[in-house]
């Protein structure tokens, strides 16, 4: 009897969780979630009790939690002693490490909330889940009764920010650390040096930051503060010093390190450049030894990233001294020369207690197997490295600077089920990093290039591989995106500000209607469209536009549903959107006419209205049951073709569904 009841109850819970779990707004989805019956209502009596060894991380996370909870609910907590709605228990505090215990369990019923973990880091992760569970009915806020057991699939879940091509003030990094913590990522990789700048204070060789930074660099004090800020949120800071290529800034300050005599000038354009360090020069290693000694002290993480990507061999080829050196050391090609250099650098890092991370190109059989290879050129390199015994992380497919759609990144699994790797080889794949290269972003729009898409990458790296429902991901992404604003992220709000600057007015509705239908050119097409330099304006409509905006996706879904089922509700919504778009151009004209910087988007706006008008006509034709007139079809197709062409580095996203509507008029 007892057994039977338990079984029924279990099936009940299972069915309930199957039905209801998709409507939770958790991102990343935890490993194991059971939604139960019941709610814990939040009142002004809400309080937290912590049991475990003292942890500054937990103490401060508790305060942040209370702030965010009161901020969202408007509840004035009374902070009465002895009121403990949330009971937190953990066993130990830990040092951040590439592999650490981040697991936690969270149980909520109508009488209380119980968050347990082995480590204080697990508690931080669990508190983020709890905040994401916050729900409400018409009158009250509550946490739904759940039982969650959670831990990440991959230990290394990061974001690279390039602070060279465009310098990012510390507050930009801090707010992004907060966002990383909110989606349970744990690495901020800082690309600190490149041809266009050297962004960290170096006391041993001060010309590096003084001569080669345009004054835009982090002082060591600022960096220590950032490291502490990130540590308190369970985020490691991995610094990258890209060598021996991508080094013009070093060589401007210290030309004696270069393969060919200088002088060198700071680089103002983009792409891999010729200047490289000289691996045959003993002074280079002496320099790097002192340099890394200082940096190893500043950055507590066990890993230092040495870049190693895109080393241009033009200078090495041109140097007689280097050729002689290669002959003497039996280095048969430049890859071997780079490996020689890397091994020397690896030994320096080892002396200072650090391990090496580098891009694909540092892979070489002579390298020790404790290094980490970051794969940017393709999964082929990821798997090759794992097969050869190296630890690896994936960035190929996570290049968020390329403005590709969220689902593209989301479905990019570092270790898909069908990949032919042994269990040991699979285990060497530690995770991945989204990469925010900064050639065409500024502190104003960087958040909109990172978020919310990176939350989907965070889910890919944390959640079980079976979690891959794209529609549900997009549904939750919208919720999480709004929550990120509470942490100070500017990915949504800065768009209006940028539009006001373009319009020179607070009246931006027509401009907003236009920007919501477009996205910046994908992949490297923007780089190809014109030459960008460090002085190029990043204030145009294309910079205010965001990748994968929600409205065109919703429009496409509505059109698909309407064409499949003839759904009336979808039709009404389609007509509403099309009418708004059709009428938009005439409202935008006066704004464009008063602001020359907007002239480039006039054809785009014309196309939006023209395409919307055709779509409305197509709907009418469809409803009439008549075949469309041949002339109408030809003209419609011409307008569609015109609208498909990029304009002002922007792509109009509603064209494809409209084309489907037109085609459907001919299918009688």
CB crowding 558-583: b at 16 or more within 10 Å, else e: bbebbbeeeeeebbebbeebbeebbe
Q: What distance in Å separates the CA atoms of residue 11 and residue 19, rounded to the nearest whole number?
A: 12
User: β-strand 112-119 against 187-194: which pairing, if any?
Assistant: unpaired
Backbone torsions φ then ψ of 41, nearest 5 degrees: -80, 140
Least separation in angstroms between CB 305 and ligand ACM: 10
Nearer to ligand ACM, 77 or 437 (CB): 437
Least separation in angstroms between CB 394 and ligand ACM: 12
Q: What distance in Å separates the CA atoms of residue 624 and residue 188, rounded to the nearest whole number?
A: 58
How many angstroms separate the Cα of 620 from the Cα of each of 361, 566, 641?
Answer: 58, 13, 21
- For residue 275, which of 305, 307, 306, 252 has the smallest C-alpha distance? 252
Q: What distance in Å separates the CA atoms of residue 383 and residue 439, rounded to the nearest whole number?
A: 29
CB-closest chain residue to ligand ACM: 309
Backbone torsions φ then ψ of 578, nearest 5 degrees: -65, -35
Give the H/E segment covering residue 239.
Answer: strand 236-241
Least separation in angstroms between CB 399 and ligand ACM: 7
Q: Are 154 and 187 in contact (CB under 8 A)?
A: no
Nearer to ligand ACM, 142 or 376 (CB): 376
- For residue 403, which of 431, 444, 436 has the smallest C-alpha distance? 436
Q: Are 422 and 148 in contact (CB under 8 A)?
A: no
Least separation in angstroms between CB 435 and ligand ACM: 7
Nearer to ligand ACM, 242 or 617 (CB): 242
The residues binding ligand ACM (CB under 6 A) are 309-310, 359, 376
Nearer to ligand ACM, 398 or 581 (CB): 398
Q: What distance in Å separates the CA atoms of residue 550 and residue 514, rounded to the nearest whole number?
A: 13
Q: Are 144 and 33 in contact (CB under 8 A)?
A: no
Q: Are 157 and 181 in contact (CB under 8 A)?
A: no
Active site residues: 310
Tracing tokens 């050119």 back to the chain, one arrives at: 521
Nearer to ligand ACM, 377 or 387 (CB): 377
Q: What distance in Å separates the CA atoms of residue 373 and residue 495, rounded to the nearest whole number?
A: 36
Of the CA atoms within 13 Å of residue 179, those in its CB half-sphere come to 32
Nearer to ligand ACM, 294 or 310 (CB): 310
Nearer to ligand ACM, 201 or 309 (CB): 309
């Amino acid at each position: 009897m007892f057994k039977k009841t338990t079984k029924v109850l279990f099936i009940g819970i299972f069915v309930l969780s199957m039905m209801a779990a998709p409507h939770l707004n958790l991102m990343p989805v935890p490993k194991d979630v059971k939604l139960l019956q019941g709610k814990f209502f939040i009142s002004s009596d809400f309080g937290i009790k912590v049991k475990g060894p003292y942890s500054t991380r937990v103490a401060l996370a508790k305060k942040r939690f209370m702030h965010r909870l009161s901020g969202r609910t408007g509840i004035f907590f009374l902070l009465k002693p002895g009121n403990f709605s949330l009971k937190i228990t953990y066993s130990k505090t830990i040092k951040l490490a590439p592999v650490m215990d981040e697991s936690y369990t969270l149980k909520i019923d109508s009488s209380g909330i119980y968050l347990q973990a082995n480590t204080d880091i697990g508690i931080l992760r669990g508190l983020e889940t709890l905040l994401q569970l916050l729900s409400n009915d018409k009158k009250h806020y509550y946490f739904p009764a759940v039982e969650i057991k959670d831990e990440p699939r991959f230990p290394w879940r990061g974001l690279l920010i390039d602070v060279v091509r465009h310098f990012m003030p510390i507050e930009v990094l801090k707010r992004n650390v907060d966002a990383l913590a909110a989606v349970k990522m744990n690495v901020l990789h800082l690309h600190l040096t490149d041809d266009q700048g050297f962004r960290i204070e170096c006391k041993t060789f001060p010309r590096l930051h003084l001569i080669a930074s345009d004054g835009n660099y982090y002082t060591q004090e600022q960096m220590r503060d950032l490291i502490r800020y990130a540590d308190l949120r369970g985020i490691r800071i991995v610094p990258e010093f890209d060598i021996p290529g991508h080094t013009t800034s070093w060589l401007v300050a210290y030309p004696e390190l270069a393969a060919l005599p200088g002088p060198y000038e700071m680089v103002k354009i983009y792409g891999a450049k010729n200047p490289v360090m000289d691996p045959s020069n003993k002074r280079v290693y002496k320099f790097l030894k002192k340099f890394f000694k200082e940096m190893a002290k500043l950055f507590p993480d066990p890993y230092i990233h040495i870049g190693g990507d895109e080393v241009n061999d033009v200078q090495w080829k041109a140097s007689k001294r280097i050729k002689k050196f290669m002959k003497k050391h039996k280095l048969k090609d430049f890859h071997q020369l780079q490996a020689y250099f890397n091994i020397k650098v690896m030994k320096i890092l080892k002396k200072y207690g650090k391990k090496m991370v580098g891009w694909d190109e540092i892979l070489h059989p002579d390298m020790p197997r404790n290094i980490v290879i970051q794969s940017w050129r393709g999964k082929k390199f990821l798997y090759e490295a794992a097969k050869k015994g190296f630890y690896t992380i994936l960035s190929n497919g996570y290049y968020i600077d390329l403005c590709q759609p969220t689902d593209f990144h989301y479905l990019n699994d570092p270790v898909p089920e069908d990949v032919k790797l042994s269990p040991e080889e699979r285990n060497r794949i530690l995770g991945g990093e989204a990469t925010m290269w900064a050639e065409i972003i500024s502190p104003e729009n960087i958040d909109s290039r990172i978020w919310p898409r990176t939350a989907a990458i965070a889910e890919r790296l944390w959640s079980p591989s079976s979690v891959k429902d794209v529609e549900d991901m997009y549904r939750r992404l919208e919720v999480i995106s709004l929550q990120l604003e509470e942490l100070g992220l500017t990915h949504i709000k800065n768009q209006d500000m940028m539009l006001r600057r373009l319009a020179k007015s607070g009246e931006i509705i027509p401009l907003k209607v236009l920007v919501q239908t477009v996205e910046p050119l994908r992949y490297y097409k923007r780089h190809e469209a014109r030459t960008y330099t460090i002085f190029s304006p990043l204030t145009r409509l294309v910079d205010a536009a965001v990748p994968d905006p929600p409205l065109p996706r919703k429009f496409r879904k509505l059109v698909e549903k309407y064409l499949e089922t003839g759904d009336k509700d979808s039709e009404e919504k389609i007509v509403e959107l099309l009418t708004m778009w059709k009428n938009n151009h005439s409202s935008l004209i006066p704004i464009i006419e008063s602001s020359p910087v907007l002239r480039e988007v006039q054809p785009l706006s014309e196309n939006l209205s023209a395409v919307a008008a055709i779509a409305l006509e197509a709907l009418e034709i469809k409803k009439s049951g008549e075949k469309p007139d041949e002339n109408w079809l030809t003209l419609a197709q011409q307008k569609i073709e015109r609208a498909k062409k990029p304009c002002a580095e922007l792509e109009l996203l509603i064209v494809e569904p409209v084309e489907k509507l037109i085609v459907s008029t001919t299918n009688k």
